[in-house]
A and B are shown apart, each in its own frame.
Chain A
Amino acid sequence: MLLTEDQKKIRLNARNFAKKEISPYIRAWEKAGSAPRELYRKMGTVGLMGMTISQEYGGSGLDFVSYVLAVEEISAADGGISNMMSANNSPVAVAIEKFGTETQKQKLLPFLTSGEWLGCIHLTEPHTGSDASAITTRAVQDGDEYVLTGQKSFITGGSTAQIALIIARTDERKEKNGITAFICSTDNPGYKVLSKEKKLGHRTNDTCQVAFDSMRIPATDVLGEVGRGLSVALGGLSLGRIGVAAQSVGGARSALAAAHRYSKDRKTFGKAIIEHQAISFKLAEMATQIEVARQMYLYAAEKHDAGLDSTYEASVSKLFASEMAERVASAAIQIHGGYGYLEDYEVEKIYRDVRVYQIYEGTSEIQKIVISRHLDKIDL
């Protein structure tokens, strides 16, 4: 896909930002277990935190292709930060713009797009992830309030975000149609962060377990219609999946760059290892897979921008890109030999970071379910 001049400028700006404001600090932030809050404000000033949101609400009003290009750039610098950026943009800000009332949009979006506040999404629960309709967090109406009780897990930004988009059950009898989306401040006294997980990668952000302890939310903070919460959470799902494909390409591309650099420096048997065809062919295969994955996520994003359904393309692109990223990161370690296994080399971290792309926003298995169900509908 040929990018427009505007899309190239957006990508370059995101790349310059990532190079100066993120890459140099990654090691320190990984150790600290978080990136500084100020970073997200800076990202907000550039426009990274509300890229597709209309300018009326403080966003940049850009197309979805520009957004995923920027996700790739930020992810090429750090996976964990790109995930915080993604959660804030889509689902949270996108869902508020799409389903919110005028009051909700004016109250929330300017703060989310500026990076002043961060958003997080609460869907997964300890007992259920892939099957979102099996959630049991309950929201019971009490006058003009709802009272939420339950537990959420794996919440990206659960302890740093100010705004939580919570998916909870409002009707026990209706399975899928008994679920509602709520907007809530994480300052709410009923919002209790139970723990911050220790994890393989994405160590620059917080993945949290959160409990709602009879948490009271005004009924005006329902997002969208009561009973339609799954469409709010999953409506933006294909966007989320294309975003994860872009994250995968970002990580893989940095792994390739590192391996390519290293292969020119490292000498064995009298020549640079890139001169061994086994290594140069491996690099060529890595580049090919990355390029194919990038074109696929761009195509899926372009389809979305054109107002066409991109569910199938989003799943295809997420499945391929996320699995590709693990293969490419692993090959990059192989090219580094023993050094690739050490923390001192960036490929070690990339390998840890990219693993999750096959899990969140629908596991690879779930993508295969979606893809196989489309096979009747597409022209094979």
Chain B
Amino acid sequence: MKVVVCVKQIPDPALPGELNPTTNLLKRDGKLILDESDSYGVEMALQLVEAAGGGEVSLVSMAPNNEMSGLRTALAMGADDAILVSDENLAGTDALGTAKVLAAAIRRLSPDLILAGVESSDGYTGTVPEMVAGVLDLPSVTFAKQISIDGDTVKVQRQTEAGYDDVECKLPVLLSVTAGVVEPRYPSFKGIMAAKKKPVEALDLQGLGIDLNTVGLVGARQETIRVTEAEERESGEIIVDDGDAHQRIAEFLGELKVI
């Protein structure tokens, strides 16, 4: 079985982010790390391949400056190889442009199954996976919390507000994996050393055969017009326990109608 996981490499959320004031885009010149949202997809893919008794997990990522630190982390977890798309002309690409690029890379791999995160931690439009499926003309199931493969069929528990739906679908298919549904393994030291030698194919737009006019700022149909600071939240109410704190907390929650 061949599984492709879309992994986004993002600026480290622990470090303060910065916007370019003229373009309103997030600065991505530093080192990028594996988006935690995608570590669940990687873990899920590794588990599915283990359960199938063999196969291959390939990664696909689009990132500036040939940045592959995040990919190496996913390779250290156990993925086999990766395609990295990086090109100066990708600056300013919107979600659809990203989907076109990822789809072109995925096509080269002809996978049985494609996994992605439900939404990334930095852009979080939550639209790329379905757009990738659209471009590839594949079915897609969102919010997968459990996945099993039975022959040429995938069975998915699709998380809903109330519980989950059981969904079945013929392969190949694209699934977006809900964050937190599996526990991503730590890369082992052996994995880290082995990851250095795993193949990462670095492609630019030409190598992928993508028309420059359909991606990047020129191809983007989405534009960030304005960025405003998030409003500062008012500090919460501090309840000091004079013996009746439990009642006052219950009243407070009652007023908010949460209990």
Contacts and interface: CB of A to CB of B under 8 A. Distances in A.
A281 B187 CA distance: 39
20 contacts: A6-B193, A6-B196, A13-B187, A13-B189, A16-B186, A42-B186, A45-B185, A45-B186, A45-B188, A46-B187, A47-B188, A47-B190, A51-B189, A55-B190, A60-B189, A60-B190, A60-B193, A61-B190, A61-B193, A62-B193
A291 B71 CA distance: 32
A14 B134 CA distance: 41
Interface in A17-49: 17, 42, 45-48
A215 interface: no
Contacts of B192: 6, 9-10, 13
A61 B185 CA distance: 20
B43 to A, nearest CB: 13
Contacts of B196: 6
Contacts of B187: 13, 46
A60 B188 contact: yes
A10 B189 contact: yes
- From B185, B189, B192, B196, name the one whose CB has the most chain A CB atoms within 10 angstroms: B189
B32 to A, nearest CB: 15
Contact of B188 (A16, A46, A66): A46
Nearest to A6: B193
Main secondary structure of the interface of B (DSSP, over half): loop
Contacts, number: 35
A62 B189 contact: yes
B51 to A, nearest CB: 18
A23 to B, nearest CB: 15
Nearest to A47: B189
Interface in A61-79: 61-62, 66
A276 B82 CA distance: 53
Contacts of A10: 189, 192
A55 B187 CA distance: 16
A17 B186 contact: yes
A42 to B, nearest CB: 8
Contacts of A46: 186-189
Nearest to A10: B189
The residue among B186, B187, B188, B192 with the most chain A CB atoms within 10 A of its own CB is B186
B256 to A, nearest CB: 29
Contacts of A61: 190, 193
Contacts of A42: 186
Given A42-B186, A46-B188, 5 more contacts: A6-B196, A10-B189, A13-B189, A48-B189, A60-B189
Nearest to A59: B190
Contacts of A60: 188-190, 193
A60 B191 CA distance: 9
A51 B193 CA distance: 12
Interface string A61-101: 11000100000000000000000000000000000000000
A67 to B, nearest CB: 10
Nearest to B72: A9
Contacts of A9: 192
A252 to B, nearest CB: 23
A10 B188 CA distance: 9
Interface in B167-204: 185-190, 192-193, 196
Contacts of A51: 189
A46 B188 CA distance: 4
B39 to A, nearest CB: 12
B190 A13 contact: no
Nearest to A12: B192
Nearest to B188: A47
A112 to B, nearest CB: 15
